[in-house]
């Protein structure tokens, strides 16, 4: 029963992290003059608007019940880069808003966790404490992972600003056409063999908790 509760707490934390991530993409675009996300009904913190049946429900459920770390994604928020006030840096700012929101959410959850443990005296087995630990961890992982500069991750849109020159045309073409496939192959190989991402995620999570002395 406890394991089942932990699974659903993790799924809830994942849903919140993904929802805030996508909402902040839309909010950043809206603040720079693009109303595409608003017209599409995506400028909202209602999780239902951002759910991808496979990435938000099926994959996380399979991972959770098979013992694999919970992983997932939400529907990408649409935006029109031509409507942005800042034509060059606008897309990069919209991209940064997603992982940036994850890091901010992790810090807020970390503050809540610290208060729960030290001020309110909740123990490590308290459900709120467990949920906040998961919320911190998932947000850190999503933030770090999305900084990878390979499509379709947010890092690729941030990198594209610096590759906006004819001499980088071949590099951009390679990333846009082959990047997603290479990324998926690397993730599969890394999970079963290299464990590079796991090491990076673990170090980032440990560092985050150390900020609060936890």
Which residues are designated catalytic? 22
> How far apart are alpha carbons 18 and 5 in whole angstroms?
20
Q: What tokens appear for 116 in the block?
A: 């729960």
Two tokens, residue 179: 């990047």
> 176 preceded by cis ω (within 30°)?
no
Show the tokens assigned to 84.
């942005």
Cα atoms in the Cβ-side hemisphere of radius 13 Å centred on 50: 26
The whole-angstrom separation of Cα 58 and Cα 153 is: 20
Report the SS3 class of residue 192. helix
């Amino acid at each position: 029963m406890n394991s089942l509760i932990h699974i659903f707490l993790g799924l809830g934390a994942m849903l919140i992290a993904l929802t805030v991530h996508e909402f902040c993409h839309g909010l950043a675009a809206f603040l720079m003059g693009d109303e595409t996300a608003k017209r599409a009904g995506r400028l909202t913190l209602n999780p239902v608007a951002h759910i991808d049946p496979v990435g938000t429900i099926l994959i996380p459920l399979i991972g959770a019940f098979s013992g694999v770390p919970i992983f997932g994604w939400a529907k990408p928020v649409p935006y029109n880069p031509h409507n942005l006030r800042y034509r060059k840096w606008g897309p990069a700012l919209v991209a940064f808003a997603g992982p940036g929101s994850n890091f901010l959410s992790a810090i807020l959850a970390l503050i809540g966790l610290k208060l729960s443990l030290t001020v309110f005296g909740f123990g490590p087995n308290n459900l709120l404490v467990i949920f906040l630990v998961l919320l911190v961890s998932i947000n850190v992982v999503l933030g770090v992972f999305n900084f990878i500069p390979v499509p379709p991750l947010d890092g690729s849109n941030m990198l594209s600003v610096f590759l906006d020159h004819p001499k980088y045309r071949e590099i951009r073409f390679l990333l846009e056409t082959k990047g997603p496939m290479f990324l998926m192959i690397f993730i599969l190989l890394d999970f079963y063999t290299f464990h590079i991402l796991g090491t990076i995620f673990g170090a980032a999570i440990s560092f985050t908790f150390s900020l609060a002395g936890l």
